[in-house]
Structure formats: structure tokens, C-alpha cells
Structure 1
């Protein structure tokens, strides 16, 4: 089989919000739809020309969560007869949507694919599971209310929290607390430098968010923070005594979405699209 060239022709993302921050009231579906529409606008492409939509989502957190890819497709103006697929490969879900879109193009199933990923961790439900309450609860019996976000961070098969996996890997590969703090600090520093230099401007799709009784434009990532090694060294390990994972060097709990538009070489030429990169 002769492989085709597949190109990224546009990509946009929302700014990322803190847990309980500026994006807490906007569903993952609407966040991804916003990024998708901005991506199509950046490519100057008629949405009706999109052949397929794939969206990565780990934890459905809104009433329409099961339909996220389908609803992103519809809200972006893509015809309802086009296929939509929601993908869960945990932290790689959004990236897997790009792999899937590329595969569809290589197989001749699509010429243009809209791919993306979205999470709103702030909206993770506090739940009472159906089998514990739906079929009757005795007088005086307590309900087992669970935080689905917290429980999802523990692999029930391995009975191991995600943070302990990091601690186990640190032990195995002899990664020190100081090295973890330095890595975390470097990430924050690089974000600050890139933000100051305007590197994110071309990829961001600002949106209106609630601010009391008014609305305001949300255009800068909310989660990064100014830190230094001295402050990070004072933070206590979260998962293990004398461990390496802290609130300062671990990835944050946040809300946001992104979208990428893929096109075959034929579609690039036919619709006068401008490639950003070849996949």
C-alpha cells in the first residue's frame, strides 16, 4: 500500500482553566465545540467538507458526555450524516484521535478529519451508583456517595493510585525529589517564557466566561503559577512519606479542550489549504 501524505492544516485550543476555575461552568462538549469551530475558521474551511470527527475524552462529566464527539460535530456545523467517534485512551485520548483521523485518511475513508480532546474535571460528578440506590434503600441506610474524579485516579484492578505509580517508577529509575522539582519548575518557566513571547497566541481560542454578573474574555492559561525551587522544596509529598510527587511538580487538575484539522494531500490542493505540518 502506498501511504498518503497527511497534513495538519489548523489547530486551536482553549486556554486551560484551574480546577473549579474560570471554565468550571462550561461542559467538555462545549469547550471542544469552541475549539473545533475556531480550528475550522482558522483553516477557512466550510464545515460541510469535514468527513469525520474523533474526540478523545477520558471522563464524561456532563449529561451529554456519552455523545461528546457527535455533539461537537453538530455544534461545529458538520453534517449529521458524517461519522463521529469518542475515544478513551486515558491521558493519550486526544492524541489517539489524531492517530485515528490519520488512519481514516490513509485508508481512504476520509479526506478531511477533525480531531480533538476535551475534559472538564471540575464537573466530575459526586455519585451514588445505581445498584446501591436505584432498587431501594432501607430506612436509615446511608448512601455511599463517591467522588468520581478521585476514584478514577485509582486503578481498581491494580488497586493503585496514579500518584503511587509515579512513586514506584521514581523508585525503580532512581529519580530524586530534587529532579522532580527541577522538572516541574522547568515546565512552569517554559510556559511563562512562551507566554511572554507570544508563542501561544496563534493556537489559543479565547472564550467568554462568567465573572460574577458579567462576562469577561478568558485568553490566558489559568493553571500555571510562578514558583521557585525553594517554594517547591517546602511542599509535602502527597502519596508517600518521603516521596517525590507534590502539588508543585505533578500535573494539575484542569479543564480545557483542543482541536486539530487533518487533510490529505489531495484535499489540501483541492481546497487551497495551508499545511502547518506533515503527520
Structure 2
């Protein structure tokens, strides 16, 4: 019988608003904070970590090897190998898959996996800066948009254009998307109020002119009045149905897990049963989670009815709506603390 591979410890920073509390805090610093907290909670000594895998989609301006910076900033040994993973939205989750597989293969015993992003600090890029602008107008690229939120295969169209395409193809109305979004916000607000994220979040202290300020809760939910979501304008097409309210926020934050063998974890948080990857046309990323979950359930030998809770990335409301519809899920089992 194969030895179980488990999550021995977990931690995340609060999720900061765009140009919010974490303005000026590098993604690598947020990553270090999450790693250090996860290690403490796992009771794992620094010298036990053999590899660190951290997702980061917007590395411009961070300097060489962001994952290694985060690891060393957390006090991990220089002997630990480090890899930065860029798989856009799936970057952090992919590090967990890679960590699992390296342990299953006998390459490692203890791996830190996670993700870190500081979208607020993503720089603007000057493509012609090295060669110079000889004559005429220059162009500045937004690293966040160009490398993170636009499709290079479709003239750098915004991801929201494809959310609109999904809504039209599968007939998700504006009202359905608004209802889902309002429910998600309310769930997140309730989860914060009742302390449901307390065992996840590692509060972050920021030095200000007026003294240290401690950030302990996610910023975005507190700023949203869900009743106003139906009145928002379409964000990507003139007569579209996708709004800022039914789209994911631009945010800053980091998360980390300590992954190891069951025999090395005295009080594991969870065990990793299986993982799966599904890929298709980039413009249909909105429907990819459906087949990924189907593949995963088959691999694990589970049925939908065997699962108590589902967590699905709410890149857009239509992504979660398509997921719920195709798998015929009970909404009370999906993103119960918001998304």
C-alpha cells in the first residue's frame, strides 16, 4: 500500500485590495510570510525542507528567482531547491501537484508549495526602451494586463471577452451572474465575520508613518455592497452581461503549504488523494474545470455524490455557473465561504 502524501501545515496572507494595504510590498515578501507561517503551523524544521515551489504570474521587477527569494526570506536553507511556476491562474495549484509527484517518486520527503502575487506592484514595460524610439510615438505595456490578463492568441483580448463568449454560448443571463456574485460576496463577508478564515490567515504587519498596522482580514469583501451589483455597467462589451461584480478582483497575497509523507506529519491538515489536469482551447478556459473535475473523480474512484464540498476558482461568475450546471451540483456545496 502506498504511503499517504499529506498537507502538514498551511497559511495564507490576507488578500489585499488593488492599491490597498499591500501596496509597495513585494510578492516575494508576501510569499516569505506565508511560508514561514505554514512551517510554524506544521511544526516542520527549516532544514527538513528539500524543495520550494511557488507560483508567480507577474515576476517582472521582482529580481531573479522569485521562489528562491521567498524561501530564503522565510529562513529556509540555501540547500533547498527552488522553482517559480507560471501557469497563470493555475500556478499555485500546479506547485501542489508537482510537490505531490516529487514525493510520490521518492525524490523529496518535504516540499513547500504555494503561490504569491502582488498585482498592485506589477510594473509597466517599455518594449523599445533598449533600442530607443527613433521617431514617432512609443508604447508602454502594462505587465499585469499584457502578461497576466490578456489572451496572446486572440490579439491580447481581455479575459472578460471570453467570459462574455461563455455566457452567450451557454445562455447565462445577467441576472444569473449577478445573483451568483451577490451570494458569493455575502458568503465571504459572513465567513470573515464568523472567523472561518482564522486558521488560514497569518496576519501581516505593515510599517507606516503612524506606526505598525496589522492586516488580518481580506480587504475586498468589506468594501463591497452586494446590493449594487445589479446596477453595475458591463465591463467588457457595450451590451454585455459580465461586470466588475461578476469578475474576479485584482488582488495581492500569498499562500503556502507544507507537503510531506504521512509518516512524517504528526497532525496532518489533509491528505492528497489525487490530482488531474485538463487543457483545451485557451479561449474556453471558462469551461475547463468541468472536465478537470470529471477526470479527477474518475482517477480517485469517486462520484459527485461522494464529495461534500467543492471549491471552484471564481475567475468569473460564468465559470462557476458552468461548473455547477454541468455537474448538477447543489449550490450549498460549492464555495461555501465565497470565492
TM-score by length of 2: 0.76
CA contact (8 A) 1:53 1:114 kept: yes
2:268 corresponds to which residue?
Answer: 275
Q: Name the CA distance, whole Å, in 1 between partners of 2:164 and 2:33.
A: 37
Aligned partner of 2:9 in structure 1 is 10
State yes or no: 1:73 paired with 2:71.
Answer: yes
Q: 2:92 aligns with which of 94, 106, 113?
A: 94
The root-mean-square deviation of aligned C-alpha atoms, in Å, is 1.5
Q: Which whole-Å deviations, capped at 9, do the CAs of 1:95-121 have from their partners, x for residues lacking one?
A: 111111001110001111100101100
> Residue in 1 aligned with 2:44?
45
Once the two structures are superposed, residues 233-272 of structure 1 have per-residue CA deviations (whole angstroms, 9 ceiling, x without a partner) of: 110001112212111121100000000111102322xxxx
Task: Provide the residue aligned with 2:261 in structure 1.
Answer: 264
CA distance in 1, matches of 2:176, 2:209: 41
SS at match of 2:65: helix
- What residue number does 2:188 align with? 191
8 Å Cα contact 1:125/1:149 also seen in 2 = yes
| Aligned mate of 1:166, from 163, 181, 184 | 163
> Where do 1:213-252 residues align within 5 Å?
213-224=210-221, 225-229=223-227, 231-252=228-249
1:146 aligns with 2:107: no
Gaps of 5+ in 2: 273-339
Greater mean alpha carbon deviation, residues 183-192 or residues 207-216: 207-216
Q: 2:304 matched to which residue of 1? A: none
Query: Contact 1:56–1:87 at 8 Å: present in 2 too?
Result: yes
Q: Report whether the alignment pairs 1:157 with 2:153.
A: yes
Is the Cα–Cα contact under 8 Å of residues 13 and 35 in structure 1 kept in the other structure?
A: yes
| Aligned mates of 1:162, 1:63 — CA distance in 2 | 24
Secondary structure of 2:246's aligned partner: coil
Aligned length: 269
Deviation at 1:31, TM superposition (A): 0.2
Gaps of 5+ in 1: none
